[in-house]
Structures are given as C-alpha cells and as structure tokens.
C-alpha cells in the first residue's frame, strides 16, 4: 500500500510569498497525482490532477510538478483566500495534509 507523506505539516507565510508544498510517495506512483484545497467547514476542492494539470477555474498561481516519488504544489504568490489545508492524493491514498497559515 502506497503511503503519501506531506511536508511540512504547517507552513507559515505572509500574503504575496511563494508556498512550496511537498508530497512524497513510499514507492513510485503513476502520474495520477492530485492536489486539493480544503478550508474549515468546506468540502475539498480539486486544484491539480495528473501531477500538473489545473482543474477548471483554478488560478494560474497554483502549479504542480514532479514524478516518481516526489511531487510539489507551488503557489506562486499567496492570496488571502489561499490560507487553507492542502492534501495530495494518489488513487485510494491521501497525504496527511499541509496547513498553510498566515504568518
């Protein structure tokens, strides 16, 4: 069973800064790597699928990259609405999440 490990657990940044979130798989995975954003009291929202494709309506400041076992979600310049928890997913497995909080 694949394990996805996200780091860091918490990222403290200011609006306008760049956020780099990591998702590491316990074994090489296919490109079906997705990223979600979740705000308190809300359902997850798909941001990125197939490692690097933005979902419908997702701003260009969100980008995904990686292959094999190492994947990254980058938010180029944080907007106030981007402070949230982010999860990666591959198949039946989710990472434990990274919280992006305001510094």
Partner 1 sequence: EVHLVESGGGLVQPGGSLRLSCAASGFTLSTYWMSWVRQAPGKGLEWVANINQDGTANLYMDSMEGRFSISRDNAKNSLYLQINSLRADDTAVYYCARVLRDNSNDASDYWGQGTLVTVSS
Kindly list the residues in this chain that would bind partner 1 in the complex (CB under 8 A): 1, 30, 32, 34, 36, 38, 42-46, 49-50, 55-56, 87, 89-97
As a whole number of Å, the CA-based R_g of the chain is 13
Let me know: does 36 contact 45? Beta carbons within 8 Å.
Answer: yes
Let me know: does 69 contact 78? Beta carbons within 8 Å.
Answer: no
Q: Which is nearer to partner 1, 13 or 58 (CB)?
A: 58
Q: Which is nearer to partner 1, 78 or 88 (CB)?
A: 88
Nearest approach, Cβ of residue 14 and partner 1 (Å):
25
Let me know: does 74 contact 65? Beta carbons within 8 Å.
Answer: yes
Residue recorded with tokens 């490109």: 31
d(CA 50, CA 5): 18
Nearest approach, Cβ of residue 62 and partner 1 (Å):
14
Nearest approach, Cβ of residue 97 and partner 1 (Å):
5
Q: Which is nearer to partner 1, 21 or 34 (CB)?
A: 34
């Amino acid at each position: 069973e694949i394990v996805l490990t996200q780091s860091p657990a918490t990222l403290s940044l200011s609006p306008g800064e760049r956020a780099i979130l990591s998702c590491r798989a316990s074994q090489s995975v296919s490109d079906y790597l997705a990223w979600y954003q979740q705000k308190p009291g809300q359902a997850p929202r798909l941001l990125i699928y197939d490692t690097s494709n933005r979902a419908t309506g997702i701003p260009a400041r969100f980008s995904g990259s990686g292959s094999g076992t190492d994947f990254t979600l980058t938010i180029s310049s944080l907007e106030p609405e981007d402070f949230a928890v982010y999860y990666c997913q591959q198949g039946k497995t989710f990472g434990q999440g990274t919280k992006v909080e305001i510094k």
